[in-house]
Each structure stands twice: as C-alpha cells, then as structure tokens.
Chain A
Amino acid sequence: MKLLEVEDLQIELMTEAGVVRAVDGVSFCVGEGETVTLIGESGSGKSTTAMGVLRLLPAGLAVLSGRVELAGKDVIADPDSIVDVRGRSVSLIPQDPMTALNPVFTVGRQLAGAVRTRHPELSRSQARDRAAELLDSVHIPDPSAQLRKYPHQLSGGMLQRILIAIALAGEPRLLVADEPTSALDVTVQAGVLDLLLELQERTRIGILMITHDLGVARVVSDRIHVMKAGRFTESGEVEDIVERPQTEYTRKLLAAIPQLDAPSTTAPETPAGQNVPKQESPTPAPPAEAPAASPAEPTATTLKPEDARRPAGATGLSAVPGTATTATTAARPEGARP
C-alpha cells in the first residue's frame, strides 16, 4: 500500500529575485515499512519537496502543482484536506531540534497536546501518561521528570528524541524526516538513526528521509532519489546508487565523501565527541565496534497501538535492529565528515 504518492510535483517559490522553480517535476512514492531518501546538496529542492508535500510552505509564497496523494487525499487539489492528515497520518521530524519546540511551553504540554490531537477523547492525565509512555519508547530515561522540563533545559539529542516521540503521538503511517540528524553531534546522530530504524521495524511506518549525507542515506534507505536543481538526476535501490552510480553527479557526490571505504583512518575524529551532552550516555566512541548504542537490547514492547496491527511477518524484533546498528556503526566515519 502506498502511503505517499507524488506525481510530477512542481513548486515555484516567489523570492525577491523573482519566481524560482525549486522543484521541477518529481515523482516518487513511499510504501509501508519503506524508507525513501531524497539526497542532494543545499538548494537542490529536497527540503522544499518535503515541506511542499506537507503543505508547510508559506501559502502566498509557494505555488504547487502536480499530484500529491497523502493517506489517500490529494493535498494539492484540496489543500484543506491536509488538516485531517497532519499529526494523524503523517508527522514531521524537523531539521533542528533546538528551534523546533515552543520555548515557553514544557515538553510535556507539547507532547500531550500532540496526543490529544490524535485522541481528543483522552483526559489531560491520560494524555500525560501516554506522553510518558512515548518518551519511554524513544529511550528517554525518567520520562515523567523530562515532561516537566522546558526545551532549553535539554540537549539536542534529547530534544530530537522528544520530537520523534511527538511525531509518533499522532500514530502516523508516514514520517517525513527533514535532515533529522544534521544539527546533531556525530555520536548522537547514530543513536537517532538507530531509533528511527527500530521504530520502523516495530510499526512498519513509512519514512521519507531528506538528507545531504550519503552515509545516512546508505544506512536507512530502501530507495534513493538523487536530487539536483529541482529534478531527480538518478533514482534506484540503495546498493545500485552507491555501488554503481550511473550519473556523473552521483559519482561526484560519492567522491565528495572522503574515506568512504577506509573507515579505519578516521580515528582523529574523537575530539568531536567531547562536547556531547551528558544525557547521551549510551552512545559509543566513534569508530570502534559499539553495540552499546544498540536499542536492540531488551526493547520495550509496549510501544504503540500499531504493534497490534502489524503484519505477522514483521516480527523480526531482535534480529533486524541489530543489523541496523551494525550498519550504522560501519557508516559512522562518513557521518563524521561535516
């Protein structure tokens, strides 16, 4: 089943310099349990695509055409229908967790608010209990204490986990992750990616991943679309793109990442780990074999109601997150290059 179908999407932005066609006829789809990645350099239109799909671009400044079917609703033909979809069928994981939460509300108020958007029938205290459960499911220690905190009291890695919990509060079928790790410290990045993969294994959620980081793309994706100047220059399975790039641009992108095949030479990256916020204790030292970051160890099975609806074949709880962790660890040296 397709969660998201995009056909010939065009986005024109009104800028001071005139009308810019930021997205120029892209088509792709995301199915259940799939991760589809849009990768490209800054200004390639990948984030604009994601924001356009969610209709989060400023109404007067962006003109969209084409077809975007989100949970069965064409949000371009009928822009108002997006209101029924946001926070229910689809959620966003934003780029910079430090600026993504309202600074004057507690984390708990924002998380419980998201819970009640999905389940208006819940009481305040029920929503709060559910919020604590959600924080627990994204491996945040002492959830009820964190709920009382304000965003400025938490580290970037913690905030991104909280934002993932907020995204999950809507029990979405599709996550749009707009560079979810770019603003995070390298060692924290791995933990967040592992968490996303773990959630996908458990809930068969579809992910539209936006990134400029081939290391990230390689770890999480099923399919990759390489984007440049508003168009897809190359699309395909992740192995094909990485191993057998067809276009010069993809080859250059791959070449732009130093030591892709020589992770052992990246040991001097360790100093980056020194300013890691203390909350992120379970993260490993960079290139070493680091199963400590694995969320595969006794995973909470109380995560989400979707668990009940999960297809019988997708119960590989212990095996697959483990694989994911190994993959993340192997890929980390690339991620280490800002």
Chain B
Amino acid sequence: MSRRPQLPPLTKYAGKRLTQSVLTVFLTVSTVFVLIRLAPGDPARAYAGPFATNEQLAEVRERFGLDQSILSQYWTFLTGLFQGDLGTSFSYQDSALSVVLDRMPYTITLATSAILLTTIVSVPLGVWMARHADSRRELGANVLTVAGQSMPEFWTGVMLLTLFAVLVPILPASGFTTWGGLVLPTVTVAILQIALISRMVRREMVNNFASPYLTVARSRGVGERALTWQYAMGNAAVPVITALGTRFAALLNGVVVVEVVFAWPGVGSLVVRALETRDYPLIVATVLVTSVLSVTVQLLIDLLYPLLDPRVRLGKATS
C-alpha cells in the first residue's frame, strides 16, 4: 500500500506541460507574425516619412525584406529564430531582441514589486474581510475594493503624481533613476490588483470558514488562529496563488498605460512605439519575450500545485 514511487508521474506531468508551453509560445508568435502583416499600415511609409517618393519606399521595403511574400518572410524569420536572431528593429536599427531585452528588467522590476505589494496587502485584507464578512466594519473595506476596481489606472496614476510629486513633492514624477521612482508606478499598478485579489481571498476564506472540516476542527479545540492561517489558508492557497501568478504573468506583458503615464522605460511603452511605427521585428520580439516569460510563470505555478494540494500530487481516486 506504500505510495512512495511518485516521481515518474510528476516528471511526466512536467514534461507534458513543458511541451505545451513551447507550443503555445510558438503558435502565439507565428500568429502575431502573420496578423501584424495583414493589418493595415505600412512600415516603409512610417520609416521613410510622409513625403517619401515611391522609389524611396520601394528601396526601404527591399532593405527590410518586405517585398517578399509573407510565407518567405516567415521562413526567414524561422531560420533566424533558431539562431536566436529575431531580425533588426526598423526604428532602432538594432537587434530587435536586444532592444526588448534592454527594456525587460524595468518591466520585471515593476511587475515584481507590484505583485509583492499586492500579496502583502491583499492576503491580510481579504482574511480580515472574511472574518468580518457582512459586518458593518467590512462595508468600508468593501467600498474601497470596489473603488479600487473601478478607478482607471491612468486616473489613479495622474492623481498620485499630482499628490506626491507636485503638491507634496516627496517622490519623483517619472523615470527610474532612483528607487523612489518605483513607488508611484508600483502603487498605481497594485491598487487594481489588490482590489481584485483581496476580494478573491475573502471569497475563498469565507467558503472555507463555512466548510464542515473547519467546524469539526473547531469542535476538537483547534484555535481560531490555526483555523484561519493553517486550515482555511492551506485550502485557499491554491486558487489564490493561481490568481496571483496569472496577474503577475499579465503584468510581465507590460503595463502600457502606467508606463506611459510615468515614462517608465519598460516593455509596455516599447510596444506602443513599435505599433505606431509598424516595427514588425520589434513587435514580434516583444511578443516572443513576454509570452516566454508569462508561460514560464504559468508553468511554475502548475508545478507548484502538487506541493500545495495532495489531491493533485497523489491522484484523486485511490483505492
């Protein structure tokens, strides 16, 4: 009856998920590669300017390889992809991959600090709301989270800027030259995430508080602190961590509005520029890098499940 040899199924599971991830990235990038070329807009005109002659435009198209058919462009892209070459950015005249990778640390920093702030605030807040569910005291927190969900980021960002960079100038208004510059963008991004995650923590905890196993544990003298943080939180952890991971993966794709408001040199503002100039290689490189990152985060979360939930680890039906 010993269930020791559990490693093979887990390795198999990891291998399967890894294959899925690679396939997902490949399909995403290929789709974007084709669709962006089918969309209206002309990179040659964006590059050469509104007064360029037809000859100049043709010359630019030839230089960028845009005179080829989409299929042969895709072939060139694929052969380059396997050598780690995603082509040259039209507007930066530099390797598209390195342009994106230069921006990545800023995006990762902002996403990480925002998700950390979200976790630190929303887990205790959600637990507090669940413990005081439907009470008058919870109403205040409820109003705040609904407000947090409803305030658009560009508005929150501008308000925070006005407050803390203009009226009470204690924080830098834009850019990332000091760590202080991280505060306002982080708070702006986190407000929405906190509102979403804390309501989710509340819902999960309320469900677990009401479940029979908790009442039975209470009946045998398990203290309220252990009931909350070990029993209920142990069960709420899987969905909450999934949600946090999903939000984190989304933030890694760039927080376009917030980056623009705070002149944050991340991927989000890069994407805006790449789209404006129809910089095909840059768009594809951005999509590739961000999708690799978010798929990796997703994969790590999936591999966490077996550690958090024995029902995943040991299989649902065991005789």
Contacts and interface: CB of A to CB of B under 8 A. Distances in A.
Interface string B34-53: 00000000000000000000
B231 A87 contact: no
Contacts of B310: 103-104, 106, 150, 152
A104 B216 contact: no
B236 to A, nearest CB: 10
Contact of B222 (A54, A117, A142, A152): A117
B5 interface: no
Chain B interface size, as a band, is 20 to 34
Contacts, number: 85
Interface stretch (A130-138, A165-173, A285-293): A165-173
Interface in A94-122: 94-96, 99-106, 110, 113-114, 117-118
A104 B314 contact: no
A119 to B, nearest CB: 12
Given A152-B318, A153-B318, A99 B213 contact: yes
Interface in B129-185: 134-135
A152 B316 contact: yes
A153 B220 contact: no
B309 interface: yes
Interface in B200-215: 211-215
A103 B311 contact: yes
Contact of A167 (B3, B220, B234): B220
Contacts of B318: 152-153
Nearest to A111: B220
Given A102-B213, A163-B216, A114 B234 contact: no
A145 interface: yes
Nearest to A84: B221
Interface string A149-179: 0101100000000010011011000000000
Contacts of B2: 145
Contacts of B316: 152
A218 interface: no
B217 interface: yes
Interface of A: 51, 54, 56, 60, 83, 86-88, 91-92, 94-96, 99-106, 110, 113-114, 117-118, 142, 145, 150, 152-153, 163, 166-167, 169-170, 277-278
Interface of B: 1-3, 134-135, 211-222, 231, 234-235, 308-311, 314, 316, 318-319
Given A102-B235, A166-B220, A277-B319, 16 more contacts: A87-B220, A87-B221, A92-B219, A94-B215, A99-B213, A100-B212, A101-B213, A104-B235, A105-B231, A110-B217, A114-B221, A117-B221, A118-B221, A142-B1, A150-B314, A152-B311
Q: Which 4 A-B pairs have the closest CB atoms?
A: A87-B221, A92-B219, A87-B220, A117-B221
